[in-house]
């Protein structure tokens, strides 16, 4: 059972935060949200207004406080840089320690181990808020805080946690998780990378593909076959340090979206891993992998939500400033239809994602619904961001405005953490199994 939310944990985190965050004041955040729009905020590409519906979202006071603290932080530290991060495809490494100071990196790690001791819905909310400012930084945040830190938190020994978590939680080191390979994507358990036991070490050989954060990461959770003859029952998870001899990282990919979230290939040439770096049990890695994927799908669902909110906020403001035929374009019925469709799709996706988050926090982690949360929210995010782009007309198609970036970033969520097709397969299969 996860710890209940505690305001004290967050308020303890706040004084350690950046100078801007130390001035955190919820009433200022509310005033900023209610402030009238100006054309400069549209042209500058920085969001000043949000139509996030707190009444319908149904968050607790602690969760609202967390959400607003993160919003204030990313508005100051990240949103003004988001367009440059996208354009330059450069990851803003200076942000990691700032996230660490806020406690956001170890959000699901118990307070006794240096984390905030919060739940998966809280983690999803943070993911959503960071995504509103920058989809790519949020993806890297999710890979670090959920795929890497949370897997070590859930499966690590006391010694592993003591050795790896403090620097990862502080943002002094970057974390990454590697399961996919060039020829093993959707069918990930067909992986070819091996780690064969030799004395008190495992010797890893092979490669991984698509690994988020790997350009700068120091700590990797890596899956490999320790008993290849057993197929999916012969997989083991390992914690691998970057500077281990034989470990190397390939070039950064030039991606369609999520630019600034580094994605590279990994190579293992007789990498010696001490047996104390086995994460979980030998040959039990498939369970570690699959259960991790359930929670990954939930937490990453915050990404599509944040991108939808950003696109909606931006386009609604635009539609109420831009005039054609002597009228604000948002007053045309076809455009009102867009506003209504975007708003309700976002609200429905958020309601489902938050409901699944609450269930996970109550100890009811359902593969079907974790897959459903990201399936539904990412399909809606592609639709909503695309409609937002349409509502801007020609300028929406330029890189001077941020909505194209939202579309490109949203597209990732139909592939990353398992594709839409695999999510549909998992949901369908769960009913097949139930009714067999």
- Pick between residue 42 and residue 177 the one whose CB is nearest to ligand FAD: 177
Using CB under 6 A, which of the segments 81-89, 95-103, 179-187, 400-408 binds ligand FAD?
179-187
Burial of 342 (0-12, 13-18, 19+ CB in 10 A): buried
Position 178 contacts ligand FAD (CB under 6 A): yes
Distance between CA atoms of residues 39 and 52, nearest Å: 20
Taking phi over 0 as left and psi of -120 to 50 as alpha, with beta for the rest, 417 belongs to left
Q: Is 296 a catalytic residue?
A: yes
Position 414 contacts ligand FAD (CB under 6 A): no
Position 356 contacts ligand FAD (CB under 6 A): no
Token pair for residue 14?
């706040």
Using CB under 6 A, which of the segments 10-18, 350-358, 385-393, 420-428 binds ligand FAD?
420-428
Q: Are 241 and 259 in contact (CB under 8 A)?
A: no
Position 425 contacts ligand FAD (CB under 6 A): yes
Query: Looking only at residues 210 through 229 of this chain, which bind ligand FAD when binding is defined by CB under 6 A?
Result: 210-212
User: Which contiguous run of DSSP H or E holds residue 376?
Assistant: helix 367-391
Position 75 contacts ligand FAD (CB under 6 A): no
- Pick between residue 86 and residue 313 the one whose CB is nearest to ligand FAD: 86
Using CB under 6 A, which of the segments 18-26, 41-49, 273-281, 419-427 binds ligand FAD?
419-427
* Secondary structure string (H, E, C) spanning 48-98: CCCCCCHHHHCCCHHHHHHHHHHHHHHHHHCHHHHHHHHHHCCCCCCHHHH
Mutual angle of helices 285-300 and 333-361, in 10-degree steps: 140
Position 403 contacts ligand FAD (CB under 6 A): no
Q: What is the DSSP letter of 230?
A: G
Distance between CA atoms of residues 75 and 89, nearest Å: 20
Position 143 contacts ligand FAD (CB under 6 A): yes
Tracing tokens 């890596």 back to the chain, one arrives at 222
Position 412 contacts ligand FAD (CB under 6 A): yes
Token pair for residue 207?
């490669």
Distance between CA atoms of residues 324 and 313, nearest Å: 20
- Give the residue ranges of DSSP H helices in 114-243: 120-133, 135-142, 151-155, 158-170
Q: Which residue is nearest to ligand FAD (CB)?
A: 185
Using CB under 6 A, which of the segments 31-39, 239-247, 328-336, 417-425 binds ligand FAD?
417-425
The vertex-147 CA angle with 146 and 153, nearest 5°, equals: 65
The vertex-179 CA angle with 177 and 181, nearest 5°, equals: 125
Which candidate in 296, 331, 383, 421 is catalytic? 296
Position 415 contacts ligand FAD (CB under 6 A): yes
Q: How many residues contact ligand FAD, by CB under 6 A?
A: 21
Position 89 contacts ligand FAD (CB under 6 A): no
Position 45 contacts ligand FAD (CB under 6 A): no
Token pair for residue 209?
């593909």
Position 177 contacts ligand FAD (CB under 6 A): yes
Q: Minimum distance between the CB of residue 420 and ligand FAD, rounded to whole angstroms? A: 7
Q: Are 225 and 191 in contact (CB under 8 A)?
A: yes
Position 260 contacts ligand FAD (CB under 6 A): no
Q: Minimum distance between the CB of residue 180 and ligand FAD, rounded to whole angstroms? A: 3
Position 263 contacts ligand FAD (CB under 6 A): yes
Position 146 contacts ligand FAD (CB under 6 A): no
Query: Looking only at residues 181 through 210 of this chain, which bind ligand FAD when binding is defined by CB under 6 A?
Result: 185-186, 210
Position 375 contacts ligand FAD (CB under 6 A): no
Q: Minimum distance between the CB of residue 97 and ligand FAD, rounded to whole angstroms? A: 21
Position 258 contacts ligand FAD (CB under 6 A): yes
Using CB under 6 A, which of the segments 56-64, 196-204, 287-295, 410-418 binds ligand FAD?
410-418
Sorted by sequence, the CB contacts under 8 Å of residue 187 that are 6+ apart come out as none
Position 290 contacts ligand FAD (CB under 6 A): no
The vertex-388 CA angle with 300 and 257, nearest 5°, equals: 45
Position 92 contacts ligand FAD (CB under 6 A): no
- Catalytic site positions: 296
Chain residues that interact with ligand FAD, rule: CB under 6 A: 143, 177-180, 185-186, 210-212, 255, 258, 263, 412, 415-416, 418-419, 421-422, 425
């Amino acid at each position: 059972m996860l710890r209940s939310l505690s305001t004290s944990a967050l308020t303890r985190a706040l004084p350690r935060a950046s100078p801007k965050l130390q001035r955190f004041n919820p009433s200022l955040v509310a005033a900023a949200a209610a402030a009238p729009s100006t054309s400069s905020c549209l042209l500058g590409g920085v969001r000043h207004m949000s139509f996030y519906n707190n009444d319908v979202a149904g968050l607790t006071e602690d969760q609202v406080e967390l959400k607003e603290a993160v919003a204030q932080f990313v508005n100051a530290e990240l949103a003004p840089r988001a367009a440059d991060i996208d354009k330059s495809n450069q990851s803003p490494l200076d942000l990691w320690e700032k996230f660490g100071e806020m406690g956001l990196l170890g959000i699901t790690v118990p307070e006794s181990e240096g984390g905030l001791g919060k739940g998966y819905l809280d983690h999803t909310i943070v993911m959503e808020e960071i995504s509103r400012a920058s989809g790519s930084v949020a993806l890297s945040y999710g890979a670090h805080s959920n795929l890497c830190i949370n897997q070590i938190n859930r499966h690590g020994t006391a010694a592993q946690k003591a050795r790896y978590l403090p620097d990862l939680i502080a943002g002094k080191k970057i974390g990454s998780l590697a399961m996919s390979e060039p020829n093993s994507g959707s069918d990930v358990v067909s992986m070819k990378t091996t780690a064969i036991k030799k004395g008190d070490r495992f010797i890893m050989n092979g490669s991984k593909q698509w690994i988020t954060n790997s350009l700068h990461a120091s700590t990797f959770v890596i899956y490999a076959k320790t008993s290849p003859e057993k197929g999916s029952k012969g997989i083991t998870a390992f914690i691998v340090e970057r500077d281990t001899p034989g470990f190397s990282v390939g070039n950064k990919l030039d991606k369609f979206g999520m630019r600034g979230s580094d994605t590279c290939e990994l190579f293992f040439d007789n990498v010696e891993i001490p047996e104390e770096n086995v994460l979980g049990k030998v040959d039990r890695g498939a369970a570690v992998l699959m259960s991790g994927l359930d929670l990954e799908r939930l937490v990453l669902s915050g990404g599509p939500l944040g991108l939808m909110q950003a696109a909606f906020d931006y386009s609604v403001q635009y539609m109420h400033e831009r005039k054609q035929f002597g009228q604000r374009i948002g007053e045309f019925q076809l455009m009102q239809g867009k506003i209504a469709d975007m708003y309700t799709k976002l609200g429905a996706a958020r309601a489902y994602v938050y409901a699944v988050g609450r269930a996970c926090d109550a100890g009811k982690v359902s593969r079907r619904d974790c897959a459903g949360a990201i399936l539904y929210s990412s399909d809606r995010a592609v639709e909503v961001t695309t409609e937002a782009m349409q509502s801007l007309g020609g300028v929406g198609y330029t890189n001077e405005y941020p909505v194209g970036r939202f579309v490109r970033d949203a597209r990732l969520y139909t592939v990353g953490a398992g594709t839409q097709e695999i999510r549909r397969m998992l949901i369908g299969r769960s009913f097949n199994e139930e009714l067999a």
